[in-house]
Structure 1
Amino acid sequence: MHDAIESAPASMAASPRLLQELKETLQRLRLGGPFYVLLWALAGWASNLWALARGPFVIIGLCFILLTIARFRMRGLSEGSTEARVRGRLNAIWSLLLVNAAVWGGAAGWLLLVAPEESARTVAAVSSYAFATAFAHNFPMRLRHALLALCMIYLPTLAAFVVSGSRVELVVVSALYLLYVILALRRSHAEYLQRLGLEDDLRRQRDLFEQQSRRDGLTGLANRRRFSSAIEEGVAATRRHGDALVLMILDLDHFKAVNDSHGHVAGDACLCGFARQLQAAFNSPDDMVARIGGEEFAVLSRSTLVRGLQRADAFRADVLRTPHALDENQTLSLAVSIGVAVFDPAHHADADALYRDADAALYRAKALGRNRVCTPEDIIP
Structure 2
Amino acid sequence: MTALQPLDAPPWTVGETRSAPDRGRPRDPDGPHSAVRQARLLALLEADDPDDRNAAARALGGRPEPEVALAVVRAYLRGRVDQLPDAGVDRLARTPAGLGVAELDAQGVEPERALRCAGRLRPWDLPPLVPMLLDRWQHGPPAVHAAARTVLDRVPADALAHLLGPRVEAGGHGLLELLAGRPLLRTPELDRVRRRLRDEGRDALADRLVLVAGPLRGPDAEAEDAAALDALRAPAPGVPAARAPLPPLPELLDLARTGAPEQIRRALGRLVEEHTPPPGGEPDPALHAVIEELLRHPRAGVRLHAHRASRALFGRAGHARSTVILLSDPLPDVVRMAVRTLGRASWEPALPELVRLLQHPKPVVRSAAREAVTGFGQAAVPVLRRVAARARPDRRSLYTDLLAQVAASDATT
TM above 0.5, yes or no, is no
More strand by share: 1
| Higher-Rg member (1/2) | 1
Q: What's the TM-score, normalizing by structure 1?
A: 0.27
